[in-house]
Structure 1
Amino acid sequence: MINSTAPTLRTEQDVTAPRAHLFGLSAAMVTPFTEEGAIDTARAAAHADFLMQEGLSGVTLFGTTGEGASLGPKDRARLLDAVMDAGVPAAKITVGIVASDSETALDQIAAAQAKGVDRLLLAPPFYFKGISQAALGTWVAQIIRAMKREAQIILYHIPQVTGVAFDAPLVRDLKDRFGTTIFGVKDSAGDWDHAQNLLALDDLAILIGDERLLARAAPLGGAGAISGMGNLLPGRVAKMIQTGVADPALDALVDRVVSVPVTPLVKALVGGLHGDAGWSATRPPLEPADPALVSSLLETVRSMRP
């Protein structure tokens, strides 16, 4: 099992990573389930505590790696309570907002803010495809204007999942219109050209979701990452953010992980590190990862940890 009381890792920031301090590394935390399919609050609390002991800047709940699109309001409340009860302060939590209708999005925002969480990872409305950037901007603006109090919104660009993109001109427009409410963008597309366009917006925190691009982004103003691999190898991910130095071994591991459905594999690897097979459980329609692949990659992950 992992030693959950391992010393906190801090990597000195290099001058080639001028904005890494703006966000740092938040783990896109995986969501554990019981055999009956309920949120496993005990496992969630233990993993959240482990991540913070590893020295992360925070955790992100209900994102893609956290199966956020499969969690209803009661599930979300249980998971958020479990993480906060484990000692993670609200200021270190980012909550994913996943909805195609504004009412549900606003309900999710209100539930997070009722617990003191004001940093939000806002996915675009994902049901209707082929929408214009102007229409997407209207949707975001309606959400912001209807919020009960100020928040820090991170726009979630993951078009391979949502089918909807946040292009740089729209991000620029939203920032100009809503100021500090638009905190940044999580760019998980893995498209370097798009990432460079976002990184040119130097009044925003640009967070790179594809770990293979982190070292390239750091010298151009990358502010950090919300990272699935942060569940497994936070020290190595943080080092790329803070120094801009590439990690070929981590890149090779990510290549293998993204060749299959990512979330079940990351969950199973977390379970392997914790010595707990219960982490392999997913919520339908996701299926558990291939045990043979998990076994193969687990040895690689273990060898890469300090």
Structure 2
Amino acid sequence: MVADAQADAMTITRQPLTGLHVPLITPFAVDGSVDVTALADLAGQVLDDGASGIVALGTTGEVASLTTEERRLVVDVCATACDERGAPLMVGVGTNATAVTRDEVRTVDPRASAVLVVVPYYVRASEDGVVEHFREVAAASPVPVLVYHVPYRTARPLSVDTLRQLAELPNVAGFKHAVGAVDDVTTAFMSRKPVDTAVLAGDDLHVGPMLALGADGAILAGGQVATRAYAGLIEAWRDGPIAPARRQAAALTPLAAALFAEPNPAVIKAVLTAQRRIRCADVRLPLLPAGAAAVDAALDTLSSISAGGDRTPTAR
């Protein structure tokens, strides 16, 4: 069975990294445990509503607060949902230690189609050190590596030259690009990236401009509360016409701002609870539940987005 799973995973890895990939929250039950039923339902819903794939153990999933056993459980639930629908699964891995990250990718669930590996954080490695980190990690990984470039969390911005060096490493398939802006480095890299390197927009607020610059798709936390709308936005930028794509991006911008008004994923969990898609909005410390004003603002914004036909809030 392991061999079959590995064969299936390798088949999925050949699919291009495009479309909407949703980094799922980790729903908790009232006793604090992982709510497996709610997670399975949510994973199935986003895929059925148009997401190309899902991401397990991302920042939105509160991965830092999960035990090793809980992480395995989350990946298993997400992998099952993806297997049932023939969709790719990305698994978030990585620490600020190369040896530990290398071990994590070696033991990733064989059903994963790619690993999302964060740039080493906190230690403030040199850019050359980051390249060597990913050289070792990519060489050890049984599946393609997506570099998670998020300097406002890692304190390690990367230059255009470094991004290009990373793109050229064997087994590096692309990037989740989440720099908090559409800056000079972003525009220069998007104009010079190798044609076989995928770039997935990672900031909900900037997904429209990133798609306009040629991003292949996106990894968006808001994709689990407005899946059809975000999937439609990416499809519109890819297939045209452009004018409706611009209008849809503008319509989704207030939602992105509202969902991130407090530390992620507090507002998103509250919205999903109001939609009755999860049973509990709890987050784990040091995160705190979202305030009522932020939740109300997000629900009001979401209710105005009707073109995508997304699941609407049913309770406050």
The alignment's TM-score, normalised by the length of structure 2, stands at 0.81
Aligned CA distance change for structure 1 residues 277 and 303 (closer, same or farther; 3 Å): farther
Secondary structure at 1:191 match in 2 = coil
| Pair 1:218 & 2:211 matched | yes
Correspondence for 2:313: none
Secondary structure at 2:60 match in 1 = coil
Match of 2:271, as an amino acid? L
Correspondence for 1:110: 106
Correspondence for 1:69: 64
Correspondence for 2:79: 84
Mind listing any 5+ residue stretches in structure 1 that lack a counterpart?
1-20
Correspondence for 1:258: 260
Aligned length, in residue pairs? 279
The alignment's TM-score, normalised by the length of structure 1, stands at 0.84
Alignment of 1:231-242 (within 5 A): 231-242=224-235
Secondary structure at 2:265 match in 1 = helix
Does 86-95 or 152-161 show the bigger shift? 86-95
2:73 and 2:43 mapped to 1: Cα distance?
Answer: 14
Does 221-230 or 234-243 show the bigger shift? 234-243
Match 1:136 to one of 130, 136, 146: 130
Match of 1:111, as an amino acid? T
Alignment of 1:262-281 (within 5 A): 262-274=264-276, 276-278=278-280, 280-281=281-282
1:103 and 1:176 mapped to 2: Cα distance?
Answer: 21
- Structure 1 residue 83: Cα displacement: 2.0
Match 1:172 to one of 164, 168, 183: 164
Aligned CA distance change for structure 1 residues 141 and 240 (closer, same or farther; 3 Å): same
2:230 and 2:270 mapped to 1: Cα distance?
Answer: 19
Match 2:174 to one of 175, 184, 187: 184
Correspondence for 2:117: 122
Correspondence for 1:146: 140
Percent pairwise identity: 26
Correspondence for 1:38: 33
Match of 2:255, as an amino acid? L
Secondary structure at 2:180 match in 1 = coil
Aligned CA distance change for structure 1 residues 221 and 275 (closer, same or farther; 3 Å): closer
Higher-RCO chain (CA-CA 8 Å, sequence separation at least 6): 1
| Pair 1:283 & 2:276 matched | no
Cα RMSD of the aligned pairs, angstroms, is 2.1
Correspondence for 1:199: 190
- Structure 1 residue 35: Cα displacement: 2.4
Mind listing any 5+ residue stretches in structure 2 that lack a counterpart?
1-15, 238-244, 310-316
- Structure 1 residue 295: Cα displacement: 2.9
